[in-house]
Structure 1
Amino acid sequence: MEFRHLVSFVMLADELHFGRAAKRLHVAQPSLTAQMQKLERFLGVQLLVRNAHEVKLTAAGMELKQQAETILAQVDRAVRLTKDAADGKSGSVAVGYNYLAGRKVLPDLLSRMNADLPDVSVSLWERRTGPQIAAVRAGSLDLAMTYGYPQAPEMQYRRLVSDIPIVGVIGHRHPWAARDEVSFAELAGQQCVLFARDQSPQMYDAIFAAARVHKIVLDVARTADDPGGTAQLVATLPMVGFASGPRADSYTAHGPSDPIAVRLVDPTPTLDLYAVWRKDNGNPALAALVDRLPEV
């Protein structure tokens, strides 16, 4: 059975007149008659009853009309969705993000995507920089929102937010608990909680660059790759952890188990937030999302 025979049959079933149906289909009437005969032979049933005055559908013809209309609607939808996917108007895109991106970038970005491209599905994955970049390289993420970007020719990036301060995170029993800020030089002699460099290279390097300004060696007594783990450790041990300013702002120091943020100055280490994606990623939905990203 040919697809065009279904199209012709539905048109004829609507018109119940060979001449009018043939005109709408832009075919000769004998050609339309031949198509209907081929369709009936293929199905082995009579679809139409025709005399000199009228054309009627048989019970089989009425059933085929209903089924054929469903098929044609599905084909039209498939064509539309295929074209939309090629244009980035439908499909899916996987996005990684960190805390700052979740607060400052994603709300507006997702609103714009939903308003402009409601058929594009955006899936989200919150992780630190290192795991996000690894996922972009592996292809499980289309785009990452990270502190810094990899110096790699296969990557593209866009800066989204600049000069994000890094702060110290301490517990209520720490000697700095009543202070608003401390000089970075005062970290000399303090035990610190830090993460592995591959978790967030730019943040790690910014902290150690600030230490080199004062020629101090940080005493990394504990490691915690999860920000929540850092908060738990400093809340119970007399140590200093590190967090981005926006992350630290989320801490609410109501009780002894809640961490406290203290500004680091002279110098204040800072971060930049970037969107990062692979140059060879051909996902049209990614291109549509990138077009709607903010830029510093």
Structure 2
Amino acid sequence: MDPVDQQSADDPGPRLLRAFLALAVEGHFGHAAARLSIAQPSLSRQVRQLERVLGVPLFHRTPHGASLTDAGRLLRPEAERVLAQNARLVRIARDCAVPSPSVLNIAAPLPSPAGSLLSEAIHRFRDGREQARIAVLDLSDEEQASALAGHRIDAALTWGGTHLPGLASEELVREPVHGLVTSGHPLEGAERMPLSALSDGPLLFPVRERRHCWTGLRDAASAARVRLEPVPTAPAAVLGMVADGLGCSAVPASLRLSSSPGLAFVPLPGLSVLMSVMWRRTDDSPAVAAFVAACRSAATALIGKRPDIWSDPRQAAGEATRDGGSA
């Protein structure tokens, strides 16, 4: 046999690694086969072939499924890294092969009004790059990090921050949280809204999609001895439902820039959210670097233009440190 062929026969290629990872995640041959859209006997053969190639058992088989051996647990993150690198290789090759402009895939909390950080960052990114194309996806806080790690997106504007190794993030802006009520509400025009007001009617909140923001609101309410019972609502539906008098909500202050009629925004004291840009540490793409720089530039501009909405998170951290030191 040719040495190259022999090397290929002993190589744990992507197909075998995908079978290994699917079974590691599902813990059940039938479920893992369905995840990969292949027959269960085919999955079993691929896993056994990988074990022969590597020379170690990767799973403990039981009548109810399969669990990783010590060797399997050790090799799982390595297999994930190999597949991620393969995906990057394919993406780079396709970018070279296709002459049309590549698409930068980013995630950001939506809806995002005109003049917000997202639109300002895209404007600055496209300055001098008229052919650049950006696809914007609305993912939950938890989905953003995994989508980045899995190379499904290239960068993210996030309320949630970094949750996985291999990801980098930079804090951009902090903005207060406002209570959102319909026009004509007794608190319209008030300087502040007590947290207890959010429990007076249905609290419409995207708990699953904006879990990080919900955690901050829930903890603040708990500290104030206020019980909040949210009605899970898609982010895109919150503004319209509140305007129609179907409930209230709590939203970042930048949503005041939306042109939705019938809404009143009232500050919730002591509550704010922090937006960061997140990307893969190993991503050396010039487009990603340019987008991060555009986010940084847009944040600086918005802080200077609308200090009533956006503030510098580093300045806020410094003030908190000084306040804490003098307490």
Using structure 1 for the length normalisation, give the TM-score: 0.56
Aligned residue in 2 for 1:161: 173
Which of 281, 284, 289 is the aligned partner of 2:283? 281
Which of 210, 218, 226 is the aligned partner of 2:220? 210
1:217-256 paired onto structure 2 within 5 Å: 217-220=227-230, 222-227=231-236, 229-237=237-245, 239-253=247-261
Unpaired segments ≥5 residues, structure 1: 1-81
Unpaired segments ≥5 residues, structure 2: 1-92, 300-311, 313-327
Which deviates further from its counterpart, 208-217 or 278-287? Answer: 278-287
Which of 191, 194, 201 is the aligned partner of 2:211? 201
- Deviation track 1:201-239 (CA, whole Å, cap 9, x = no partner) reads 22111211210221211132x221223x11232233452
Off by >4 Å, runs of 4+ in structure 1: 99-102
| Contact 2:168–2:280, Cα closer than 8 Å, also in 1 | yes
**1:182 and 1:140, CA in 2 relative to 1: closer, same or farther beyond 3 A?**
same
- Deviation track 1:129-155 (CA, whole Å, cap 9, x = no partner) reads 435444323322100111131322221
The structure number with the bigger radius of gyration is 1
| Contact 1:93–1:120, Cα closer than 8 Å, also in 2 | no
**1:281 and 1:212, CA in 2 relative to 1: closer, same or farther beyond 3 A?**
same
| Contact 2:239–2:260, Cα closer than 8 Å, also in 1 | no
Q: Measure the CA separation in 2 of the matches of 1:129 and 1:167.
A: 21
Deviation of 1:275 after TM superposition, in Å, equals 0.4
**1:101 and 1:126, CA in 2 relative to 1: closer, same or farther beyond 3 A?**
farther
- Deviation track 1:240-277 (CA, whole Å, cap 9, x = no partner) reads 21211111332443xxxx22222212x3x101111011
Deviation of 1:94 after TM superposition, in Å, equals 1.8
SS at match of 2:147: helix
**1:292 and 1:169, CA in 2 relative to 1: closer, same or farther beyond 3 A?**
closer
Q: Measure the CA separation in 2 of the matches of 1:252 and 1:119.
A: 30
| Equivalent residue letter for 1:225 | A
Deviation of 1:289 after TM superposition, in Å, equals 2.9
Which deviates further from its counterpart, 204-213 or 277-286? Answer: 277-286
**1:291 and 1:120, CA in 2 relative to 1: closer, same or farther beyond 3 A?**
farther
| Contact 1:249–1:261, Cα closer than 8 Å, also in 2 | no
| Equivalent residue letter for 1:287 | A
Which of 103, 106, 111 is the aligned partner of 1:95? 106
| Contact 1:230–1:241, Cα closer than 8 Å, also in 2 | yes
SS at match of 1:203: helix
Which protein is richer in strand relative to its size?
A: 1
| Contact 1:146–1:274, Cα closer than 8 Å, also in 2 | yes
Q: Measure the CA separation in 2 of the matches of 1:236 and 1:115.
A: 39
**1:236 and 1:251, CA in 2 relative to 1: closer, same or farther beyond 3 A?**
same
Using structure 2 for the length normalisation, give the TM-score: 0.52
Q: How many aligned residue pairs are there?
A: 199
Deviation of 1:97 after TM superposition, in Å, equals 2.5
Q: Measure the CA separation in 1 of the matches of 2:189 and 2:125.
A: 44
Which structure has more relative contact order (CA 8 Å, sep 6+)? It is: 1
> Sequence identity of aligned pairs in percent?
17
SS at match of 2:216: helix
Aligned residue in 1 for 2:149: 137
